[in-house]
Amino acid sequence: MALGFGALVALALVRVGPVYLEYYTVEKAVESAAHSLRGPGREAAERALVHQFQVNEFSGVHVRDIKVLRRGRGLVYVIDYTQRTPYLGNMGFWMHFHATVPIPRPER
């Protein structure tokens, strides 16, 4: 019984692990885009983001899942997407990821 339960937990970790690793990679890529901006403004932030996604080639996340929004006097990237992964038979995991990455203001 314990061996069967352990096998189910191990299978769940095998299915969910890569999805979480991809999320952390996406978050690091967005942080890298925030720090590599070449100019001020939303257009520059979007170009930096597209460049990072072209370099990394993510499978389950798209550039359209990340928005550039104004918060207060600055801009932020908002990561917001859902990913599903199969588990066993017709069961699976549904995961929602949400994070906010501030974009540093350019120094004058």
Tokens, residue 82: 């859902």
Q: What is the mean pLDDT of the chain?
A: 89
Per-residue pLDDT tens for 61-108? 888 889 999 888 888 999 999 999 999 889 999 999 999 999 887 665
Q: What is the mean pLDDT of residues 6-14?
A: 94
Residue 39 neighbours by CB under 8 Å, 6+ apart: 106
* Confidence label for 21 from pLDDT (cuts 50, 70 and 90): very high
Which pair of structure tokens corresponds to residue 38?
């070449």
Whole-prediction pTM value? 0.82
Predicted pLDDT at 81:
93
Kindly state the average pLDDT of the residues 37-41.
78
User: Which residue type is seen at 77?
Assistant: Y
* Coil, strand or helix at 87: strand
